[in-house]
A and B are shown apart, each in its own frame.
Chain A
Amino acid sequence: MMTWVTGFSIAVTLGAYVLSRAVARRHPSPLTTPVFFSTVLTILVLSSSGVGVADYEPAQRIMVFLLGPATVSLAVPLYKSRRTLLTNTLPALAGLAIGSLATLSAAVLLARLLGLPSVIRASISIKSVTAPIAIELAPIIDGSPTLTAAFVIATGMIGAMLGPWLMNATGIHDPLARGLALGTVSHGQGTAQAVVEGELQGAAAGIAMGLTAVFTSVVAPVLVPLLG
């Protein structure tokens, strides 16, 4: 049974998304990235109409139902661009491994330098791992699954917003490298942004997202306690 709150929540979220795509087409900027723009708009409308965090949960469950099949369908662009990925296996694997280590170490060391408590340091270390596995990885390294989920989502947004601009500024033009960097750091949201750039970028991001999750799951339990 769908309540009116759930129906309203879905309508607001869908409406915000449709609007964000129209706005992004006319005024492309980091602030009009569909995920960021729609999230802010949806939160504002829900809060001002008295829909609480718990009231939104059934709507959330309905809307993310297709996220699984959408992730599975990433195999199609991956298959289409298999030749490019196979000829670049070494640069791709090395890039995502070095990038994963860099972002994990930078997060833990910086969090320590800024005096954040240890539960936040552990939870923030795995923020580049795709949400379903990060949540399971968090307790193993003494982090909080809830905090980790928040940091994973925020990192997805930050990477999707700043990534393309940052890569233009640092001269990263190779489509494989761009997709790889977005997927390594910003998992699914980075992959969604990479898909906007092109099919190869999307495919590279998809495989980077998956392999980063595997790589970080193996490395984090050893590295995070070492870095403190």
Chain B
Amino acid sequence: MAAGPGIGFAFPFETMNALIAIVVQVAALLAINQAGYTAAAALRLPVPGNLLGMLFLLALLATGLVPLRWMESSSSVLIRHLAFFFIPITVGLRGFAELFVDNGPAILVTLIVSASVGICVAGLSSQRLAARQARRTP
């Protein structure tokens, strides 16, 4: 995405090119995402469309149809701020105030304990299996 050789004002051109590159890349990501939703609906797969979109992009990268550098700048920006996209969703929890007042403690205990159990079981089992595999194949 560098400006051409011999251009004196390289800095502003490069900044603009980088911005244009991100806009084009995000548009491509939007199209791939849409393709994922279209495919999931057409094939009646019980799988979220954005997950299929992710697998599509993975296939495009693995086959070399899309070089890594085409997607690198936009993906790093989007992923760095992935947490932001969940804030508008969690703010929607305001609508459930009454239910949480009635059953709050029991729900909270269930959610916290089951999440903790899941994290420890998933983490410990995969860590042990990975260590065992590493010992077998040096």
A-B contacts besides A163-B115, A181-B123, 18 pairs, CB < 8 Å: A34-B83, A35-B86, A43-B93, A72-B54, A74-B75, A75-B56, A76-B75, A77-B79, A79-B58, A99-B121, A130-B48, A154-B111, A158-B111, A163-B119, A173-B127, A184-B118, A185-B122, A206-B54
Interface size on B, residues (CB 8 A): 75
User: Which residues on A sit within 8 Å (CB–CB) of B89?
Assistant: 60, 64, 131, 153
- How far does the alpha carbon of A101 sit from the alpha carbon of B76 in the complex, in Å? 32
B116 in contact with A166 (CB, 8 Å):
yes
Judged by a CB distance under 8 angstroms, whether B96 is at the interface is yes
Judged by a CB distance under 8 angstroms, whether B14 is at the interface is no
Interface bits A192-206 vs B (CB < 8 Å: 1, else 0): 110100000010001
* Minimal beta-carbon separation of B120 from chain A (angstroms): 5
Contact (A13, B86) CB under 8 Å given A102-B118, A153-B93: no
Contact (A91, B133) CB under 8 Å given A102-B122, A185-B118, A192-B83: yes
B111 in contact with A73 (CB, 8 Å):
no
Chain A interface category by residue count: 35 or more
Instruction: Out of A111, A191, A210, name the residue touching B82 (CB < 8 Å).
Output: A191
User: Which residues on A sit within 8 Å (CB–CB) of B54?
Assistant: 71-72, 74-75, 78, 206, 210
User: Which residues on A sit within 8 Å (CB–CB) of B103?
Assistant: 116, 120
- How far does the alpha carbon of A162 sit from the alpha carbon of B112 in the complex, in Å? 9
Contact (A34, B94) CB under 8 Å given A66-B26, A70-B79, A184-B118: no
User: Which residues on B sit within 8 Å (CB–CB) of A68?
Assistant: 29-30, 33-34, 37, 49-50, 53
User: Which residues on B sit within 8 Å (CB–CB) of A137?
Assistant: 46
* Minimal beta-carbon separation of A20 from chain B (angstroms): 9
